[in-house]
Chain A
Amino acid sequence: MNTHPKTLLVIIGESALEKFLVRDIKGFGAHGYTIADVRGGGEHGTRDAEWEGSRSIRMEVVCEDAVAEKIVEHVIANYAKNFSLSLYVSEVGVIRKEKY
């Protein structure tokens, strides 16, 4: 199968950040994103998604490596200090490279 290399950036964080993250990633040139409601735990305690205050999201963005880098820098600089966040990237192969 013919695939093209892209970067998959995953951001897991408080759902309060959702609209800011969507605005930011678009501003840096990402073409799209997928968001899912999730629950989990870490050094900030358990986020069980039982009510508004404990909801978390997982945002996935497939984009060029340079775009992912800019997004990561921005997210770390602006939100990491005060919000529960988890970020990671991986290489993925996409089928239609013009979409990303």
Chain B
Amino acid sequence: MDPVVLFFVLGVVARLAKSDLRLPEALYETLSIYLLLAIGLKGGVELAKHPISTVAPQAVAIVAMGLLLPLLAYPVLRYIGRMSNFDAAAIAAHYGSVSVVTFAVGLAFVTKRGVPFEEYMPLFVALLEVPGIVVGILLARLHTLKTVRWGELAREIMFGKSVVLLVGGLCIGWLAGPQGIDPMRGLFFDLFKGVLALFLLEMGLVAASRLTDLKRAGPFLIAFGIIVPVVFAMIGAGVGRAIGLSIGGTTLLAVLAASASYIAAPAAIRIAIPEANPSLSIGAALGITFPFNLTLGIPLYFEFAKMLHK
């Protein structure tokens, strides 16, 4: 297991043992800004090395996948889980969107094993954040579309901190190129893994606190939080293979498809679908899917990718 995941485990253990360990909120905010910017910058620098004609068709396929995933999750939640329209749509939005930190752990995983991957993948992270949320909102408001304040919502989704920092980092990296970013390499690239470890310690604390929500949610949501990511990872790996990504790229796309958002989606969905109970979507995304992906999911998705590339 990658040592960064052990930091996550430490956070979980500390919270379950009722330790007084608590990271200052300002540090959480700082670390998340750093991670989003660093991932964006790295992707931007690499993006500059590739022609648009290679990346654009891949990007279109990946956005299509982002639109499809919540449409698959919704009926499962609504008809098998017997959830309300609002709760089903809200959870579908979280699972349609992606988790940047799960992606970062996936990056650490493939990098550690020396598996080659398309280094401009952060572009796909940015692209996959939004479609799932939009589809989730549409599903919730299908019968009352006229009451949705689209302008306000668009601002909330497009200018939420994660999209601004990821896309901003991508643009800065792309414009500055490798030489331009070189003086910042120490901060943004060399320190990345240490910062990720600290952030995961905090996420361990947060994820363990969400476990109480799940006790109320029942077995369906727990099963959903494990089975759906695996199925979505298969879809992600299939799409990755079909658009010609390498083994590492296919793994990372599977990781993205399997991950559930807990930064962009909760903020947007709380405003757009206030009727939904946030402890269900966040409990599943953070309490179940995030730890599952970190520990068992990512190695499993790597196996999917290897099988598809045989």
Residues of A within 8 A of B (CB): 14, 16, 37, 45-46, 48-53, 55, 79, 82-83
Contacts and interface: CB of A to CB of B under 8 A. Distances in A.
A52 B162 CA distance: 12
A24 B185 CA distance: 45
A77 to B, nearest CB: 13
Contacts of B205: 50
Contacts of A82: 274-275
Interface stretch (B163-171, B220-228, B233-241, B263-271): B263-271
A76 to B, nearest CB: 14
Given A50-B205, A52-B263, A37 B274 contact: no
A33 B184 CA distance: 40
Contacts of B262: 51, 53
A53 B278 contact: yes
Contacts, number: 38
A52 B278 CA distance: 12
Contacts of A79: 274
Interface residues of B, number: 21
Given A16-B270, A50-B202, A51-B202, 16 more contacts: A37-B25, A45-B213, A49-B25, A50-B23, A50-B206, A51-B206, A51-B262, A52-B263, A52-B266, A52-B267, A53-B267, A53-B278, A55-B25, A79-B274, A82-B274, A83-B274
Nearest to A55: B25
B28 interface: yes
A99 B204 CA distance: 47
Interface string B230-268: 000000000000000000000000000000001100110
Contacts of A48: 209
B195 to A, nearest CB: 16
B29 to A, nearest CB: 9
- 7 smallest beta-carbon distances between A and B, as pairs: A82-B274, A16-B270, A53-B266, A51-B206, A50-B206, A53-B282, A82-B275
